[in-house]
């Protein structure tokens, strides 16, 4: 006659949480396998220095990620945290580049405006001088009534030539001003196009970051 049967032995397997991070091979559940080498508690390969500080893979000591903002809720300090920091750094870098580009465009516009003003002032002086010459010539012409007809015809030709020169000068002035204004408009359009491309890139990066955030929450 057999004795009473022994109760079944209850076994339990430790389950590893997706957010569990182990700094050394001796931590974690029994069925968790770690590879030898530097720890990876914050998503960046690090190794301990003799004084207990952490050393980045680029050789720079780092006690507590002093220059980094903590990732928002839902993003752990692993790979997603690293992605978040890299994207944040990318946004900051792009923002700096856009500021530099804005300053460069502003400087070029200011230089163009100064150049337009200088050329306009020079042209105004030339026109004024030419107008004074024309007025003197016209005054002398009206006071020379005693000249013979051939002389007056020659003066008429000279006056017409002078008028044509004034007309050509006005045309050249307008052409130069149109060219300068067209170049300035083109510079603005080029800047607007680059700004739009940068904004599209930012939107794509933001969309990628949101997808990573969703994946991190799953």
Distance CA 2, CA 26 (A): 45
Question: CB neighbours of 21 closer than 8 A, spacing ≥ 6?
Answer: 40, 41, 76, 77, 78
Backbone φ and ψ for 200, nearest 5 degrees, come out as -65, -40
In a domain, 74, yes or no: no
Pick 93 or 58 by higher pLDDT: 93
Q: Which helix (H) or strand (E) is 56 found in, with range?
A: strand 54-56
138's tokens: 């016209």
Global model pTM greater than 0.75: no
Indicate if 95 and 23 belong to the same structural domain. no
Report pLDDT digits (tens) over 28-45.
444 444 444 444 444 444
Distance CA 37, CA 51 (A): 18
Report pLDDT digits (tens) over 74-94.
555 667 767 777 777 777 777
Q: How confident is the model at residue 9 (pLDDT cuts 50, 70, 90)?
A: very low
Report pLDDT digits (tens) over 117-137.
988 888 888 888 888 888 888
In a domain, 121, yes or no: yes
Indicate if 155 and 47 belong to the same structural domain. no
pLDDT of res. 69: 56
In a domain, 72, yes or no: no
In a domain, 169, yes or no: yes
- Give the N- to C-terminal CA distance of the chain in Å, as an integer: 56
Distance CA 191, CA 198 (A): 10
pLDDT of res. 178: 87
Chain-centre distance of CA 16, in angstroms? Answer: 44
Indicate if 89 and 185 belong to the same structural domain. yes
Pick 111 or 207 by higher pLDDT: 111
Instruction: Give the residue numbers spanning the domain of 48.
Output: 12-67
Indicate if 90 and 186 belong to the same structural domain. yes
């Amino acid at each position: 006659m057999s004795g009473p049967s022994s109760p079944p032995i209850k076994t339990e397997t430790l389950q590893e949480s997706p957010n569990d991070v182990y700094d050394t091979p001796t931590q974690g559940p029994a069925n968790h396998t770690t590879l030898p080498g530097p720890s990876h508690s914050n998503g960046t390969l690090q190794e301990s220095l003799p004084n207990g500080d952490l050393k980045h893979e680029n050789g720079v000591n780092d006690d507590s990620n002093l220059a980094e903002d903590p990732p928002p809720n839902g993003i752990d300090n692993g790979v997603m945290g690293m992605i978040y920091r890299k994207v944040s750094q990318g946004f900051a870098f792009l923002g700096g580049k856009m500021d530099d580009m804005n300053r460069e465009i502003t400087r070029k516009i200011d230089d163009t405006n100064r150049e337009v003003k200088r050329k306009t002032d020079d042209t105004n002086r030339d026109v004024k001088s030419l107008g004074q010459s024309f007025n003197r010539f016209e005054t002398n012409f009206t006071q020379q009534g005693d000249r013979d007809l051939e002389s007056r015809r020659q003066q008429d030709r000279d006056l017409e030539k002078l008028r044509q020169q004034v007309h050509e000068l006005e045309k050249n002035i307008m052409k130069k001003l149109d060219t300068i204004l067209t170049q300035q408009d083109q510079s603005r359009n080029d800047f607007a196009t680059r700004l739009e491309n940068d904004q599209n890139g930012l939107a794509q990066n933001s969309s990628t970051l949101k997808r990573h955030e969703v994946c991190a929450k799953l």
